[in-house]
Structure 1
Amino acid sequence: MSGAMDEMRHDLLLAHAAGRLPEPLALAVATHVALNRGARSQLLAYEALGGAFLEELDDVPPAPGSLEAVLARLDAPAPPAPVLHGLDQGVPAVLARHLPAPLDELPWVWRGPLSEYPLLTDIPGYDTRFFRLKAGWPVPKHTHEGTELTVVIRGAYRDNTGSYRRGDLALADASVDHRPWAERGEDCYCLAVTDAGRRLTDPILRLLNGVIRV
């Protein structure tokens, strides 16, 4: 990972610790943290740093009615626990709560070797999808008009930037022109979040920009 991408990854963890990420990015980072021990340790360190900072602030009196509001929430019945699909298939709970069925029963949208299931479709400005790439197959060569976060859930893939396995977070932007290949042996399942479109760069397929989706 380049220095710029490594710095971006740390910035994402820091922003997540402070609760400042939009929901799609927060889902990607939380999924990464759930599967990656190193990221989890970094996040805990950032959260501890934030807690120490808050302890040094002067005491602020609570707003009128805040205690009553807290007590009312404590007395309210607990919401039903969500059904978590995919836990036994390697999906962490933070992502499983968004899946309506086990992996082999999801209503996948088929796009050749790549199948996808859209998530958080009501949040504008982001394209969030859970996808499956068949083992040994590539996606078309492309670049990005914005930033993409990809977290590997199962399996592995590789491209010209490196190899990525379960729990890894890959970052890509307009400087990355790549053709990810799923490793042989197991389909690769990933969560991907982008804040802009993707553009085909293959000499032939780029004529289909705006016609097919990558």
Structure 2
Amino acid sequence: MNVRHHVSDALLSAYATGDLAEGWSLAVATHLALCPACRSRLRGFEMIAGDLLEALPEASDDMSTSWTELTQRLAVQVDAIAPMALEPAPASVPDVPVLPEPLRSYVGADAPALKWKPLGRGAYQVPIPTGDGVTSVRLLRIPAGRPVPEHSHGGRELTLVLAGNFSDDQGRFSRGDIEEADEELQHQPIAGAGEDCICLAVTDAPLRFKSRFLRLIQPVLGI
């Protein structure tokens, strides 16, 4: 697996210092499980963050507790996930889970065992509850060769490919690749042929569909 689209410096540095909401942290942690290059970058950010923390006054008990709870919730131990992801096999190999940790623990099973909810036109989703009150997190399964309805964004969107691939104006995204979108991007991702595209999608605002019909039923779809 050759990851070509990586998490941004801004997100990775915020992740290293514990400044990301739970949904964003889950996406970054899952990308890290699939991307040795970003794990290496993370170590650099953690060293910088550690130096900064040592220069600060002693943290309060509340701050210390929050940091402990976050790290336990995400189970982001780089040394623990590195052996699993250094030489990952393709997602189509049955012995290799589609969903790496920590994502697989969040949803309680690998992708084939989940209860997928229909979105229409052959697409499915699995909403993933979080407690941050900020992000909306879901797994999406888009049929091979089919497009996602054209849309823009009311805020930030992270899309991490876990199986298959999709393409849009920003390029081609395969397993491990992550796309970061904002209000300026309007696109229509298309799943690649031959295999359904499974993605982890995290947003902090509803999508802005170009189709009037989709805008009308959007509250029902929950996206």
Question: So what's the TM-score if we normalise by structure 2?
Answer: 0.74
Alpha-carbon distance, 1:113 to partner: 2.5
Offset at residue 177 of structure 1 (A)? 0.9
Say if 1:45 and 1:136 are closer, same or farther in 2 by CA, change over 3 A: same
Deviation at 1:110, TM superposition (A): 0.8
- Provide the residue aligned with 2:106 in structure 1: 98
Residue pair 2:21, 2:132 contacting (<8 A) in 1 also: no
Provide Cα deviations, 1:188-209, integer angstroms capped at 9, x if missing partner: 11111000011112xxx23431
Aligned partner of 1:176 among 175, 181, 185: 185
Aligned to 2:156: 147
Out of 99, 107, 114, the position equivalent to 2:115 is: 107
- Larger radius of gyration between Structure 1 and Structure 2: 1
Q: How does 1:158-173 map to 2 (within 5 A)?
A: 158-173=167-182
Question: Counterpart of 1:72?
Answer: none
Matches within 5 A, 1:200-211: 200-201=209-210, 205-211=211-217
Structure 1 position 145, deviation (Å): 0.8
Q: 1:102 to 1:178 in 2, by over 3 A?
A: same
Q: 1: CA distance between counterparts of 2:194 and 2:59?
A: 59
The CA deviation string for residues 26-45 of structure 1, in whole angstroms up to 9 with x for no partner, is: 00111111111221111111
2:212 maps to a residue whose letter is R
Matched AA of 2:173: Y
Residue 21 of structure 1 pairs with residue 20 of structure 2: yes
C-alpha deviation, 1:123, in angstroms:
3.8
AA at the equivalent of 2:203 = T
- Normalising by structure 1, we get a TM-score of 0.77
Contact 1:98 1:119 in 2 (8 A): yes
Q: Which runs of 5+ in 2 are unaligned?
A: 66-93
RMSD: 2.8
Partner SS for 2:127: strand
Residues 52 and 180 of structure 1, relative CA distance in 2, 3 Å threshold: same
SS at match of 1:98: helix
Higher relative contact order (CA 8 A, sep 6+): 2
Alignment check: 8 A CA contact 1:87 1:93 kept: no
Q: Which residue matches 1:191?
A: 200
* C-alpha separation in 2, matches of 1:11 and 1:61: 24
CA deviation string 1:131-190 (max 9, x = no partner): 111111111111111110111111111011111111111011121111101111211111
* 1:40 is the counterpart of 2:39: yes
Q: Secondary structure at the match of 2:217?
A: coil
Structure 1: gaps spanning 5 or more residues: 70-85
Q: Distance in 2 between matches of 1:87 and 1:49?
A: 37
